Amino acid sequence: MTATASDELAYAGPGALADLVRRRQITPRELVELFLRRIEAIDPKLNAFRVTLGDQALAEAEAGSDGDADRPLAGVPIAVKDEMPLAGQATTKGSRSYGPPAAADAEIVRRLRAAGAIPIGVTNVPELMIFPWTASDANGVTRNPWNTERTPGGSSGGSAAAVAAGLAAAATAADGGGSIRIPAACCGLVGMKPTRGRVSSQPAREGLLGLSTYGALARTVGDSALLLDAIHGPAPGDLYEAPPFSGSYAQAAETPPGRLRIAISRKVPPGSIARLSGDQRSAHERTATLLAELGHEVIERDPAYGLAGIEFTQMWLRGIYEESAHVPDHSKLERSTRQLIATGKRIVPDRRREKLLAGRARRTARVLELWQEVDVLLMPVLASTPIAAEGGYGRSALGAFDRSSRFMPFNPLFNVTGQPSIALPAGFGADGLPLSVQLVGRPGAEDMLYSLAGQIEEARPWAHHRPRL
């Protein structure tokens, strides 16, 4: 296989690869071998993977070669974020202290396997998935394929780097304050943060007091929708439940949405000292203009932030404290992680925790009043293009938090409300790095977001852009 043919396959996406397998134009083993070669050649520059599963993936590919031809992800190699249990592998969550290998797959991994996908490796995360860059004492710094001096984002940064570099066809991800959307924005990918409860987090009942939602990263809207088709739906023991959906997200992505009323907002949330860069402002404005040209009604409206920023921070800190209960040896944690754990324990005691959860429905209802007037909200994802690869790694908790909040102020509100939001590529900045916007819908409206995102992608294609590796 020539280098050009190898690149075309590596970037074809899970939908196209599964179709090739079903038509017997390529075997799952050949796909696994292709991605393993690319990981060996490219990943030393990026550090996207904590571990690769070469022998296991090849064995699964052989076992599935004559499997069910109707499986939507037949033979597709995927990467798994080091947050989601994978049978036989330790889930380290970016830490030097972790428990034994998992006895069984997470529900999201089980569903991807059932759809025909083959896990090819485990991707890097910052310790306990805390920050929007991917660097840790345990695994070093993960780098952006578009510029290795910059971050791929976090906490799903290893997953984003792997997909953007063509080291996996797609990857699992999770978003507790932007951790699907931020890496998608940094790496020129599509990242859907589903409605709270849309994708089961089992065996975990919740993450970060319900702020966190599981999902996936892909290069196109259609492939993102295909992945959500494979992984969505409740499982026994889930704490949250999304509005029911019985259709096809992939079909929604191919269907124009009709005329929508779309609000646009660039307002930096109250309390944040972030400043929106000229590049990100221009990307937002160009997308708003495109939406009007596509026939949608575009108006300017800001969401009702209220005190959501403070409430998110308190829930996030308490969630970190609760997550730390699963860490065997706190002495092996990074300094900033230990500081955040202590802060969460001190300023969000049990009584405050219950008050925050009890008030979430009221806060969400206030924010959702905007969606009584509009169908979708268009916002930036990041305040700038990707920051330095290390981000705030090595700083104190306060310094790292400040760096984080200046970089990604637009995302946490929708983790509080549990609304779906999809990050989309929106061109490139003066530094050659990807720009992005996000579309936010009312709870349960992933299909509408996919319809609109697919329309944007058709009018402004981006999948032909690839980093030079």
| Residue 224: active-site member | no
Estimate the crossing angle of helix 397-407 against helix 335-347, to 10 degrees. Answer: 90
Q: In angstroms, rounded to a whole number, what is the distance separating the alpha carbons of residues 82 and 120?
A: 13
| Domains, the chain, ordered by start | 3-459 (3.90.1300.10)
| Residue 212: active-site member | no
| Residue 324: active-site member | no
Q: In angstroms, rounded to a whole number, what is the distance separating the alpha carbons of residues 173 and 176?
A: 10
Which residue among the candidates 95, 156, 159, 179 is catalytic per the annotation? 179
Which residue among the candidates 95, 136, 155, 384 is catalytic per the annotation? 155
Positions of the chain with pLDDT lower than 70, given as ranges: 1, 3, 65-69
pLDDT, residue 25, reads 96
DSSP labels for 343-407? HHHHHS-HHHHHHHHHTHHHHHHHHHGGGGT-SEEEEES-SSS--BTTTTTTS-HHHHHHHHHHH
Tens digit of pLDDT for each residue in 13-30? 999 999 999 999 999 999
Tens digit of pLDDT for each residue in 41-100? 999 999 999 999 999 999 999 997 555 568 999 999 999 999 999 999 999 999 999 999
Exposed e or buried b for every residue in 180-218, given b needs 16+ CB within 10 A? bbbbbbbbbbbbbbbbbbbbbbbebebbbbbbbbbbbbb
Tokens encoding 132 = 């929007």
User: What three-state secondary structure class fits 427?
Assistant: strand
pLDDT, residue 68, reads 57
> pTM for this structure?
0.97
Cβ(239)–Cβ(211) below 8 Å = no
pLDDT, residue 196, reads 98
Q: What is the largest CA-CA distance in the chain?
A: 62
